[in-house]
């Protein structure tokens, strides 16, 4: 019973934060990017918490359990991509302030026209909805295991519905303010629980560090990635450099300096957390060399924790896992809704700010329900995430980066890059059946980049596009309203 009480306090606390912060939301800009006023410490935590979800927690422990240290190569690539984003984030922040842009699809639209922005928004929504479904699946995997440990049966479906309701509620109430502050609190919980307490307990249960390493099967400590890990690494490289939720946090920062500190600080938190997750997966392999029949590798650590540790400790650690998942869910949900409203609906219909805010809140509920339905049909976390991130990386990354840095990039190049990447992605995965075991994200991503370069060079003289000006390192931050008044 105490376990259930601890979980209930955690979930009620998240709702209370949403209720407390809802009065800060007076406009759509407040709702989407917290009025562009988040300080560095919130950006650090919300960057980290947005990354550390079901994939970086449950799926990665499962990968470490199955494949050993080689899975960490994908994580190293991810950290490099996010560090590079930290270096360019001041420019992204200045673009947001000067041109009143709050999303990657809005950025593509401004640079390459409304149709490039419209199609990019659809892809963003697709990718974020898939990611959200993966997070719902992760939470629904954890909660039944917690309850079964105290003699209460709960189905995957009931758990998925419960977590979706809580996450939708606090996101709907307070928007980015609620997301940022719940991320701040949840990041502290998940780092202490999953990256400090649980690794120490697991290593001790495995008989200490030396005994744990000695118990691992042959090959588990070899840095020899196979096609699957290589595919993961390439997908992560493109996605986490050009991922919509991370760019939205740069747009939400109160200054270029804050965006850089926040992004690079977030990388430091993520790196520490990821090393501990690798250790958890290895410890789980040493403690339970063979997983129970029918169990996914992503659930092994949770089962060990519930079986071996005191229920109160298990409940606290499980709150940390849920914190990891819910923080990612809320961030992705808000970004998806923003893309639907500002970059799809408003392309064809003018909406006043009050109506937009109301519509956004209703869409939070609608998108949450759609993600729940996807999670009820597909329960493998990493399969959902790879489908979502691979599709985005294959079609959108080139346009997003080129929009910011390449003056010769054109609308034709962007559209060719987007649709070419999509066609190659589906043909490679479903027409050819992923030859060699490599995911389509590699071939499609490279094809998308090549098409952007070739078509843009062929059309840049006849159909040039406008470029973001005055957003360099030494340029001052200028808000769009200041430009209009001549300030």
Q: Is residue 30 part of a domain?
A: yes
Helices (H), 22-155: 28-33, 40-51, 54, 60-67, 72-99, 104-112, 114-148
Q: In the Cβ-directed half-sphere of 93, how many Cα atoms lie within 13 Å?
A: 31
**What secondary structure letter does DSSP report for 194?**
I
User: Which of 76, 92, 83 has the alpha carbon at shortest distance from 47?
Assistant: 83
Q: Is residue 48 part of a domain?
A: yes
Secondary structure (DSSP) of 226-271: -HHHHHHHHHHHHHHHH-HHHHHHHHHBSSHHHHHHHHHHHHHHHH
Q: What is the dihedral of CA 57, 73, 223, 272, to 10 degrees?
A: -50
Residue 333: per-residue pLDDT: 86
- Kindly report the number of other CB atoms within 10 A of residue 350's CB atom: 8
* Least confident segment among 56-65, 79-88, 390-399, 413-422: 56-65
Residue 478: per-residue pLDDT: 65
Residue 384: per-residue pLDDT: 61
Distance CA 77, CA 459 (A): 33
More confident residue, 165 or 231: 165
Can you list the pairs that 358-365 forms with residues at least 24 positions away whose Cβ atoms lie under 8 Å? 360/28, 360/31, 360/32, 360/175, 361/31, 361/172, 363/337, 364/168, 364/171, 364/172, 364/333, 364/334, 364/337, 365/168, 365/172
Distance CA 375, CA 325 (A): 14
Q: Is residue 398 part of a domain?
A: no
Q: Is residue 402 part of a domain?
A: no
Domain count of the chain?
Answer: 1
Burial of 258 per CB tally in 10 Å (0-12, 13-18, 19+)? buried
Kindly state the average pLDDT of the residues 293-317. Answer: 75
Assign residue 208 a region: left if phi > 0, alpha if psi is -120 to 50, beta otherwise? left
Q: Is the alpha carbon torsion for 89, 91, 92, 93 positive or negative? A: positive
User: Which of 419, 385, 415 has the alpha carbon at shortest distance from 240?
Assistant: 385
Q: Is residue 412 part of a domain?
A: no
Residues 6+ apart with CB under 8 A from 113: 411, 465
Distance CA 396, CA 390 (A): 10
Distance CA 132, CA 381 (A): 10
* Least confident segment among 71-85, 126-140, 159-173, 472-486: 472-486
pLDDT digits (tens, 9 = 90+) for 454-468: 999 999 999 999 999
Q: What is the domain-level CATH number for residue 384?
A: 1.20.1730.10
pTM of the model: 0.84
Q: Is residue 117 part of a domain?
A: yes
Domain of 29 in residue numbering reads as 2-393
Quote the radius of gyration of the chain (alpha carbons, Å). Answer: 22
More confident residue, 270 or 22: 270
Q: Is residue 443 part of a domain?
A: no
* Packing angle of the helix pair 60-67, 256-287 (nearest 10 deg): 40
Assign residue 38 a region: left if phi > 0, alpha if psi is -120 to 50, beta otherwise? beta
Residue identified by tokens 């400590």 is 221
Q: In the Cβ-directed half-sphere of 339, how many Cα atoms lie within 13 Å?
A: 29
CA 188 → CA 49, 134, 144, 265, distances in Å? 9, 22, 24, 14
pLDDT digits (tens, 9 = 90+) for 309-339: 777 777 777 777 777 777 777 778 888 888 8
- pLDDT > 50? residue 146: yes
What is the average pLDDT score of the chain? 84
Give 135's pLDDT tier (boundaries 50, 70, 90). confident
Residue 61: per-residue pLDDT: 86
Q: Is residue 52 part of a domain?
A: yes
């Amino acid at each position: 019973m105490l376990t259930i009480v601890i979980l209930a306090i955690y979930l009620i606390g998240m709702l209370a934060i949403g209720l407390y912060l809802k009065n800060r939301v007076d406009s759509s800009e407040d709702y989407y990017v917290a009025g562009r006023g988040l300080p560095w410490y919130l950006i650090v935590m919300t960057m980290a918490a947005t990354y550390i979800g079901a994939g970086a927690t449950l799926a990665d422990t499962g990968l470490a359990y199955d494949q050993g240290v080689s899975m960490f190569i994908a994580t190293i690539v991810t950290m490099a991509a996010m560090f590079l984003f930290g270096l360019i984030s001041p420019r992204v922040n200045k673009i947001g302030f000067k041109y009143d842009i709050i999303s990657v699809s809005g950025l593509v639209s401004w640079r390459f026209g409304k149709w490039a922005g419209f199609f990019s928004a659809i892809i963003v929504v697709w990718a974020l909805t898939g990611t959200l479904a993966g997070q719902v699946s992760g939470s629904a995997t954890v909660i039944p295991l917690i309850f079964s440990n105290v003699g209460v049966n709960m189905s995957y479906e009931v758990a998925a519905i419960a977590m979706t309701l809580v996450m939708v509620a606090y996101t709907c109430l307070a928007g980015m303010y609620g997301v940022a502050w719940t991320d701040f609190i949840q990041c502290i919980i998940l780092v202490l629980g999953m990256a400090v307490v649980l690794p120490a307990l697991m290593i001790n249960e495995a008989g200490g560090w030396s005994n744990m390493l000695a118990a691992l099967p042959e090959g588990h400590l070899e840095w020899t990635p196979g096609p699957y890990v290589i595919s993961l690494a390439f997908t992560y490289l493109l996605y986490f450099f050009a991922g919509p939720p991370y760019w939205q946090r740069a747009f939400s920062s109160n200054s270029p300096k804050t965006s850089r500190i926040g992004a690079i600080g977030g990388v430091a938190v993520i790196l520490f957390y990821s090393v501990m997750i690798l250790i958890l997966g290895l410890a789980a392999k040493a403690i339970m060399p063979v997983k129970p029949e029918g169990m996914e590798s992503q659930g092994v650590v949770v089962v060990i924790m519930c079986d071996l540790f005191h229920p109160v400790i298990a409940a606290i650690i499980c709150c940390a896992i849920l914190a990891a998942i819910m923080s990612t869910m809320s961030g992705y949900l808000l970004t998806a809704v923003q893309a639907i409203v500002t970059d799809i609906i408003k392309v064809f219909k003018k909406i006043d700010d009050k109506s937009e805010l109301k519509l956004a809140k209703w869409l939070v509920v609608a998108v949450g329900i759609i993600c729940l339905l996807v999670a009820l049909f597909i329960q493998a976390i990493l399969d959902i995430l790879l489908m979502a991130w691979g599709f985005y990386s294959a079609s959108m990354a080139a346009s997003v980066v080129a929009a910011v840095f390449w003056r010769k990039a054109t609308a034709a190049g962007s559209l060719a890059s987007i649709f070419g990447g999509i066609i190659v992605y589906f043909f490679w995965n479903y027409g050819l059946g992923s030859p060699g075991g490599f995911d389509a994200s590699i071939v499609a991503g490279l094809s998308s980049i090549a098409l952007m370069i070739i078509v843009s060079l062929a059309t840049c003289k006849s159909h040039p596009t406008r470029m973001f000006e005055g957003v360099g390192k030494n340029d001052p931050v200028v808000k769009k309203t200041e430009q209009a008044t001549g300030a």
